[in-house]
């Protein structure tokens, strides 16, 4: 079985990028934090409160936020990190499961002494991780921002292609072990949209991709992460579908999506379940990133920047998102209030 990407990436050659990636040292831009016998990469910058935490998508890295993080760091504290087994982070016992990711992030922030409250930002499947974190640690989270967050993920099991939550756990398990073809071929250059990153980060990203490819063994890969996503997606779907009032109350929620806002009726179907994000809270703003590809933070970084400034303004000034104006940003630090 293999997880199908939410967007197909066509690669374009960046001249000499492959050779440069192999020649220069690839040091992590942040620091490595011990979370109990293994280390996770954390890159923080800026000062102030609330602290923004970026959660990358599948097979993505902290450096993928490089077009957004420096701008936000001018206004508040902001951190990106690599989940276990990705980027510069050590692997863990159950990489990419919701349970390990949630526990790792909590331990990472505590050990690194990064102070809340947090605005959690989830790209693609990262949206499931931040929703699970908020559920487990609600008092730490001041707002959620979803950017093309995926709960509509396709998978292929023995030639059958469908949505992850339309399969049973038994069907998911039956797809393992993966065929040798699941490894694919080694990446030799970074294509769209990662070629929008600065050249030095493209080199780093290529090196990380190559290292990740080399370590991946389809014969030993297990279904744990996919099963974990399956359970999380179903729980999120049922929470909103069956709720008589917004499950997050008035918690600020911003949904940045390539698609326009849909109605509550669309939240009743798995195929349009991304609509449920707009009904998590009564204090929600939907921002349509018209024409953007899947990684909005790379295709339209300014759209994500403005969304985050709006969220920070709402949290700092304790006003609804509708009354928070990113264009007239008020720099009132919660740590001094």
Fold of the 2-336 domain? Rossmann fold (3.40.50)
162: three-class secondary structure by DSSP: strand
CB 85 within 8 A of CB 116: no
Q: What are 119's strand-pairing partners?
A: 52, 143
Provide the pLDDT for residue 81: 98
Counting Cα atoms < 13 Å in the Cβ hemisphere of 286 gives 19
Question: Whole-angstrom Cα distance, residue 123 to residue 42?
Answer: 17
- Nearest Cα neighbor of 229 from 109, 121, 94, 139 is 94
The DSSP secondary-structure symbol of 141 reads E
Provide the pLDDT for residue 5: 39
Provide the pLDDT for residue 271: 77
CB 56 within 8 A of CB 149: no
Domain boundaries in the chain? 2-336
Provide the pLDDT for residue 80: 98
Provide the pLDDT for residue 46: 98
Provide the pLDDT for residue 221: 94
Provide the pLDDT for residue 328: 52
pLDDT tens, the chain, 337 aa long: 434 433 322 233 333 344 444 445 799 999 999 999 999 999 999 999 999 999 999 999 999 999 999 999 999 999 999 999 999 999 999 999 999 999 999 999 999 999 999 999 999 999 999 999 999 999 999 999 999 996 567 777 777 777 787 888 998 999 899 999 999 999 999 999 999 999 999 999 999 999 999 999 999 999 999 999 999 998 998 888 888 999 999 999 999 999 999 888 888 887 788 888 999 999 999 999 999 999 999 999 999 999 999 999 999 999 999 988 765 554 444 544 4
């Amino acid at each position: 079985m293999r997880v199908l990407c939410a967007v197909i990436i066509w690669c374009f050659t960046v001249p000499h990028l492959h050779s440069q990636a192999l020649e220069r040292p690839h040091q992590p831009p942040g620091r490595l934090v011990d979370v109990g016998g293994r280390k996770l990469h954390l890159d923080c910058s800026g000062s102030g409160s609330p602290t923004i935490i970026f959660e990358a998508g599948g097979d993505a890295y902290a450096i993928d936020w490089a077009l957004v993080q420096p701008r936000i760091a001018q206004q508040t504290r902001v951190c990106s990190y690599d989940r276990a087994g990705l980027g510069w982070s050590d692997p863990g016992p159950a990489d990419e499961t919701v349970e390990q990711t949630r526990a790792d992030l909590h331990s990472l922030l505590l050990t690194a002494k990064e102070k809340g409250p947090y605005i959690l930002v989830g790209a693609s499947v990262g949206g499931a991780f931040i929703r699970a974190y908020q559920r487990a640690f609600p008092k730490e989270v001041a707002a959620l921002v979803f950017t093309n967050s995926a709960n509509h993920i396709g998978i292929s099991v023995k030639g059958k292609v469908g949505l992850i939550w339309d399969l049973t756990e038994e069907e998911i398990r039956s797809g393992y072990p993966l065929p040798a073809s699941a490894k694919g071929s080694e990446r030799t250059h970074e294509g769209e949209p990662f070629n929008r990153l600065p050249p030095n980060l493209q080199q780093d990203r290529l090196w990380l991709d190559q290292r990740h490819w080399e370590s991946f063994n389809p014969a030993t890969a297990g279904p744990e992460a996919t099963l974990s996503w399956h359970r999380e997606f179903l729980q999120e779907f049922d929470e909103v579908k069956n709720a008589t009032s917004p499950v997050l109350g008035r918690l600020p929620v911003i949904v940045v999506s390539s698609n326009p806002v849909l109605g509550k009726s669309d939240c009743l179907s798995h195929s349009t379940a991304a609509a449920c994000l707009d009904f998590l809270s009564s204090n929600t703003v939907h921002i349509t990133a018209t024409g953007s590809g899947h990684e909005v933070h790379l295709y339209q970084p300014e759209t994500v920047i403005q969304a985050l400034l709006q969220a920070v303004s709402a949290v700092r000034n304790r006003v609804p998102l509708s009354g928070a104006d990113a264009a007239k940003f008020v720099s009132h630090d919660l740590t001094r209030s």
